[in-house]
Structure 1
Amino acid sequence: MANSGQTDTAALVAMLSERAAVNVRLALVVDAQQWRLHHGQVTLDDDAPVKERAWRYSTATFLELCLPGPTVAALLQGDDQDVHGLHVVSPSPPSSSASTYQLRGQEEWGRVTTPWPRTEWTISRDASTPQPSYGLLVGDGPSFLNFDQALSAFLHQRPHDSTPGRSDLWRIVLPQREGWLSRITIGADLLTTIVDGEALDGAVLELSWAAGNECQSVDGAGAYHFPLPHGLAHDSLLMLRRADQWLDWRSFPAPTYGRARDASVVWEQPGPELELLLANGEGKYLECKQEVPEGDSRKKMLKTIAAFASQDGGTVLIGVRDDLQIVGLPEKPTVDKQELQVVGMIRDGVEPSPPYESRVIDHDGKKVLAIEVSGGDQMYAYRDRASQRPEFYVRVGPNTVPARHHEIAAGFRQAPTATTI
């Protein structure tokens, strides 16, 4: 994550105090017969009008509204305020500083993705703060099984999942729309990027790689082209900058591990992407299978997927031999049926369900099935069909080996226990 650091909380209070109004989402819980702030999310975006919402239950209330900046600043520094007919008790931040992150466009963090870059500040909740009630929520709003589901739906319009719980008391988001890369198309011999933005004067586009770089002046929003006479080099970096300050960027490393797909990057010819994926060979983050596995080979693949999910992620390529020759999936059964077969194997053999995506890559008419597994920040087990006993594994170089007791214990200690937001 680029440009992380700390910001004094007093500076954030001053910034909010100077604004006439800000957009906020508040999650309140009942504590000792009073409404306590559990989480506050502030969006400093004058271009995004708020559609006010209020979900009210006996033990929790969720509010989305526009509030005066000084009111939100007071809540941030721990002063109680009257909001939407409720007296809100706001805890003081346990630290005098906020974690600060500068994020590029299309970068997901905390379940939020925006086309343009943004700055985010987060302030942690005191670890001793009582957790919300986990009973059913029924009232003046949609019904939910528990607080976690309601909060995820209210903030993200997405169901609660097993991603690690967050412990933010406050989250403040500031969009950076000076300039951004809205779409990048990578062909065999040309990279095209669409640049957008509100203040592009003096901006420069730079494509850099290990052996050199190329720069272009940006004279406004539009399409810009970089010839690729030798294809896209490994570990290339495309940056939109002004002097020594970046506005937005994308990197194109040899993608040797599972990762979220970037909707702004289009590989016009998927072949180069697969070649990048295979550039470093099989190792800690890559496993190749010639065909959909059966028997012991099936068991080995599922153990590897569990190990990928338990650590930093990884990719399984089906249709590639161990010597990295791309042979493609057989014509029968259909590619769709083979993909469903693998998805069923993962569903039945790995617990809990690991975070992954499956997709088919077309390379010179040959179909390769990629299973891209993200690191899940907890332990995932292979469950043997016969014994039904969970088995835990880790990746050591190109090998999948049984996890040691301390590795299993560490994995469970970091498993999610707090509220996902």
Structure 2
Amino acid sequence: MANSAQADTVELGAMLTGRAAVNVRLALVADAQQWILHHGQVTLDDDAVKERVWRYDTAAFAELRLPGSTVAALLRGDEQEIHGLRVAAPVPQSSGVSVHRLRGQEEWGRSTTLWPRTEWSINRDIDTPRPGYDLLVGHGPSFLNFDQALSAFLHQRPHDSTAGRSDLWRIVQPQRAGWFPRITIGPDLLTAEIDGEDLDGAVLELNWASGSQAQPVDGAGTYSFPLPHGLAHDSLLMLRREERWLDWRSFPAPAYGRARDASVVWEQPGLELDLLLAHGEGPHLECKREVPEGESRKKMLKTIAAFASKDGGTILIGVEDDLQIVGLPEQANVDKQNLQIVSMIRDTLEPVPPYESRVIDHEGRKVLAIEVSSGGQMHAYRNGQRLEFYVRVGPNTVPARHHEIAAGFRQDPTAAIF
């Protein structure tokens, strides 16, 4: 199966009907004498969930274990009685279903699992009724509005501008045949821990541009590959059975500001920095010798806004423009400099983009990395009372054009920063 594909609601309904029970999380909006589904998540898992229900005058959130046939009926648009609530689900105008096969530790739609998974999603129609923005007070925790309650219920995380859901349904199938709980990369050895429920016939491979290594997997345990010349750029670690992958990790130059993979441990942080610098400054990487001042500071903040408005990126402080690693000044207080940057971002960028700052040690020198993730919308630099938008073109940050700003806001039609 390809990593991305298409299916239809008939196939999906048949798959659900064939299961005795599934775990379901429903976000519902009150409408006259019934409840309308705003978002539904289904997990095809044998382990039952701990049931919980939050109910308010205008909204309800329920986590339950239901018969697969009940969920399939909702998918078709048939009203169902669920936990004392009369629930109806909008029927999407299109019967198309997006299918994605994701590796372990891969984040998609604010969801990450240790093991690989297959996800089916159905988008919500534009004219589907939207929830209100009233305070939610009732049988459950109190929230400022529906969006905050939804983010807390689904993700146990505070709401931000990227938390809104465009999908009506999301069905998740865990794939636990084989997966990587932990991978350790040292200066001369890669060690992979493997776990799984069906590893018969599995093979572990390490592939790079000029060669590869492979070894059979005889069960859960620890497997190693020597790295006499270190980890090659663009290496791919693959756990597979014949032509189907079970789990994988790639190690490109990590220039994007995406969330770091918690399963990968770098025992030689300098190696990670070398990979990061492999392709030089570009659309997703900018280097600074030190925490900038004046106009240089404004330029860095505009670049952070540009990173967040598109695919993400990383600012490295302690690296020259020619990629020479000089490190932060020896007398510098790293924590103080980090707090200084956090304050700059909070005070000048709207909305505040998703980012993470951390220190990388390289041969006794400290480099401060500001890893900016994609915010899913346009992020502005505040210049006095004026909001300015920027994009990244090659290694340069330039003002965004009108169509780029409009396209950025269309990524999240509910976003507003004014």
Category of TM-score, reference length = shorter chain? over 0.9
Equivalent-residue separation in structure 1 for 2:33 and 2:321 (angstroms):
63
Paired AA for residue 225 in structure 2: F
Q: Which has the higher contact order (CA 8 A, sep 6+)?
A: 1
Equivalent-residue separation in structure 1 for 2:153 and 2:255 (angstroms):
35
Question: Which residue of structure 2 aligns with residue 264 of structure 1?
Answer: 263
1:36 aligns with 2:33: no
Question: Which residue of structure 2 aligns with residue 78 of structure 1?
Answer: 77
Task: Output aligned runs, 1:369-380, within 5 Å.
Answer: 369-380=368-379
CA 269–368 in structure 1, closer or farther in 2 if over 3 Å, else same? same
Question: Which residue of structure 1 aligns with residue 21 of structure 2?
Answer: 21
Q: How many Å apart are 1:333 and its aligned residue? A: 2.9
CA 202–264 in structure 1, closer or farther in 2 if over 3 Å, else same? same
Three-state SS of the structure 1 residue aligned to 2:315 is: strand
RMSD: 1.3
Conserved 8 A contact 2:97-2:120: yes
Q: How many Å apart are 1:399 and its aligned residue? A: 1.1
1:336 aligns with 2:335: yes
Give the % identical residues: 78
Paired AA for residue 81 in structure 1: Q
Give me the TM-score of the superposition, normalised by structure 2.
Answer: 0.96
1:413 aligns with 2:410: yes
Question: Which residue of structure 1 aligns with residue 321 of structure 2?
Answer: 322
Three-state SS of the structure 2 residue aligned to 1:276 is: helix
Paired AA for residue 60 in structure 1: A
1:179 aligns with 2:160: no
Task: Output aligned runs, 1:381-420, within 5 Å.
Answer: 381-384=380-383, 387-417=384-414
Equivalent-residue separation in structure 2 for 1:306 and 1:229 (angstroms):
40
Q: How many Å apart are 1:91 and its aligned residue? A: 2.1
Three-state SS of the structure 1 residue aligned to 2:358 is: strand
Q: How many residue pairs get matched? A: 414
Conserved 8 A contact 1:394-1:403: yes
Equivalent-residue separation in structure 1 for 2:264 and 2:176 (angstroms):
19
Equivalent-residue separation in structure 2 for 1:341 and 1:62 (angstroms):
40
Equivalent-residue separation in structure 1 for 2:56 and 2:163 (angstroms):
26
Q: How many Å apart are 1:56 and its aligned residue? A: 0.9
Q: How many Å apart are 1:171 and its aligned residue? A: 0.9
Equivalent-residue separation in structure 1 for 2:345 and 2:154 (angstroms):
30
Runs of 4 or more above 3 Å deviation: none
Unmatched 5+ stretches in structure 2? none
Task: Output aligned runs, 1:30-179, within 5 Å.
Answer: 30-46=30-46, 48-163=47-162, 165-179=164-178
1:307 aligns with 2:301: no
Three-state SS of the structure 2 residue aligned to 1:138 is: strand
Conserved 8 A contact 2:34-2:85: no
Three-state SS of the structure 2 residue aligned to 1:354 is: coil
Question: Which residue of structure 2 aligns with residue 367 of structure 1?
Answer: 366
Paired AA for residue 324 in structure 1: L
Conserved 8 A contact 1:22-1:44: yes
Paired AA for residue 12 in structure 1: L
Question: Which residue of structure 2 aligns with residue 207 of structure 1?
Answer: 206
Equivalent-residue separation in structure 2 for 1:50 and 1:164 (angstroms):
23
Paired AA for residue 400 in structure 2: A
Three-state SS of the structure 1 residue aligned to 2:121 is: strand
Give me the TM-score of the superposition, normalised by structure 1.
Answer: 0.96
Equivalent-residue separation in structure 2 for 1:167 and 1:379 (angstroms):
17
Conserved 8 A contact 2:188-2:228: yes
Three-state SS of the structure 2 residue aligned to 1:116 is: coil
Conserved 8 A contact 2:110-2:163: no
Conserved 8 A contact 1:164-1:377: no
Conserved 8 A contact 2:328-2:365: yes
Three-state SS of the structure 2 residue aligned to 1:237 is: strand
CA 311–90 in structure 1, closer or farther in 2 if over 3 Å, else same? closer
Three-state SS of the structure 1 residue aligned to 2:159 is: coil
Conserved 8 A contact 2:133-2:145: yes
Question: Which residue of structure 2 aligns with residue 11 of structure 1?
Answer: 11
Task: Output aligned runs, 1:266-281, within 5 Å.
Answer: 266-281=265-280
Equivalent-residue separation in structure 1 for 2:169 and 2:411 (angstroms):
22
Conserved 8 A contact 1:163-1:416: no
Conserved 8 A contact 2:90-2:128: no
Paired AA for residue 41 in structure 2: Q
